Amino acid sequence: MRQGKIKLGEGRSYPLILGAGIFPLLAEELKKNFPAHNYVIISDCPVMKLYGGELFSLLRKNRLGAHLFDFPAGEENKNRKIWEQLITRMLRAGIGRDSLVIALGGGVVSDLAGFVSAVYMRGIPWVAVPTTLLGMVDASIGGKVGIDLAYGKNLVGAFWQASAVYMDLEVLRTLPRLQFKNGLAEVVKAGLIKDKELFALLERNWKRVLRLSLSELEEIIWRAVRVKVRVVEKDEREESGERKILNYGHTIGHGLEALSGYKLLHGIAVSLGMRVEARISNLLGYFPEAELKRQNQLLFQLGFPSRVSGLLAKKLKTRSGKEQFMNYLYKDKKVRAGKIEMVLLREIGRVKRSQGSWTVPVEEGLIERALEEIL
């Protein structure tokens, strides 16, 4: 078992616990460390069926007040309507400020449940219990919570840190293969931006990782978590800008997600985004061709597609589709003075800094040229 803390300003911190067999101990942990009048379990429907009832029973056995609130799975349901429905249901159930939200699920659940807790009665505490790899290495850590709009991803939200994050490796055994891959993209990203040893570890042991070797998974997940923790501790609210490096592959990736109507999984979109942004880094003379090939080779070995396909590919090959895609990029939160900016690589494990900034302005023509990497 691995235990650590994320340390924030003003003496604030919260624990991160990773290991096998944590889930059955949750009720006792919460009762001891986070006493509340009611524990509100928020999850999507599939995860609620797998784990919601079990957690509810554990809480009840410990004589704790417990409530279950679910919603349809999928990024398309991380929206204002579902967010408002959850808040309304909590009000009808009489949930007070002396309650605690448990975000039980993947990235969508963490974002949505965290945002519910951030605004409910002006803020109540929450605990993350991620059941996906994406949730463990990304969404549950760092306090970014929010919902999507038709204009783009995560455009409404808040910085609202969890009180704790409990990560049980055993739950990954019930994760569909595609969802496992969805989170693996963020692990690769962590290595590329700030941990070359993590990247090398993935290169050496990718077969064991895909076979869900728990010892291997514990090591790569903990290293990826530590990358995010180190960045967030330095720049909790993106004030110094270093937190932007966590968005490597995401500028292009979020655009692809939006263009697909959020049918493209986040991790798949980010893997494609990393291919494009690495090519941009290369075309600008920052990222050597050999390093780019290492990145793409690992993505291929882990089973990520090298090209977009289907309707999304057809859209990107039309002028109107490319214009729509560019419009999504201009709504990205990293846009400055009307210019698209991206996190680019200098080498594996290190991003490119430009005039003190963690992002680099990129012209439209260069983006279109680099998009050929995935077409």
Domain definitions of the chain by residue range: 2-174, 177-374
- Taking every pair of C-alpha atoms in the chain, what is the biggest distance, in angstroms? 62
- Under 8 Å between Cβ of 86 and 132: no
Q: Is the pLDDT score of 336 beyond 90?
A: no
d(Cα 92, Cα 86) in Å, to the nearest integer? Answer: 10
Q: Is the pLDDT score of 104 beyond 90?
A: yes
Confidence of residue 238 (pLDDT cuts 50, 70, 90): confident
Q: Is the pLDDT score of 333 beyond 90?
A: no
Q: Give me the pLDDT at residue 203, please.
A: 98
| Residue-wise DSSP of 307-335 | S--HHHHHHHTSHHHHHHHHHHHHTSTT-
Tens digit of pLDDT for each residue in 163-206?
A: 999 999 999 999 999 999 999 999 999 999 999 999 999 999 99
Pick the CATH number of 2-174 from 1.10.150.20, 3.40.50.2300, 3.40.50.1970, 3.40.640.10: 3.40.50.1970
d(Cα 358, Cα 235) in Å, to the nearest integer? Answer: 12
Confidence of residue 100 (pLDDT cuts 50, 70, 90): very high
Going by the DSSP 8-state scheme, the letter that residue 263 receives in this structure is -
Query: Which among 174, 218, 227 has a CA at the least distance from the CA of 197?
Result: 227
Confidence of residue 332 (pLDDT cuts 50, 70, 90): confident
Q: Give me the pLDDT at residue 331, please.
A: 87
Instruction: List phi, psi (to 5°) of 144.
Output: -85, 120
Which of the residues are catalytic? 122, 144, 186, 228, 238, 243, 247, 250, 254, 266
Confidence of residue 355 (pLDDT cuts 50, 70, 90): confident
Taking CA atoms, 165 is separated from 14, 45, 138, 218, in Å, by 8, 21, 11, 15
d(Cα 345, Cα 352) in Å, to the nearest integer? Answer: 5
Q: Is the pLDDT score of 240 beyond 90?
A: no
Tens digit of pLDDT for each residue in 199-237?
A: 999 999 999 999 999 999 999 999 999 999 999 999 999
Each as own residue / partner, the long-range contacts of residues 118-125 (CB below 8 Å, 24 or more positions apart, any chain) are 118/145, 118/157, 118/158, 118/160, 119/87, 119/158, 120/87, 120/90, 120/95, 121/96, 121/97, 123/160, 124/97, 124/99, 124/100, 125/34, 125/36, 125/100, 125/101, 125/163
d(Cα 260, Cα 373) in Å, to the nearest integer? Answer: 18
Q: How many residues does the chain have?
A: 375
- Under 8 Å between Cβ of 14 and 163: yes
Angle between helices 214-234 and 177-194 (to 10 degrees): 50
Q: Is the pLDDT score of 375 beyond 90?
A: yes
- Under 8 Å between Cβ of 139 and 182: no
Tens digit of pLDDT for each residue in 44-96?
A: 999 999 999 999 999 999 999 999 999 999 999 999 999 999 999 999 999 99
d(Cα 218, Cα 306) in Å, to the nearest integer? Answer: 27
Q: Which CATH architecture has domain 177-374?
A: Up-down Bundle (1.20)
Looking at every residue in the chain, the average pLDDT score rounds to 95
Q: Cα-atom radius of gyration of the chain, to the nearest Å? A: 20
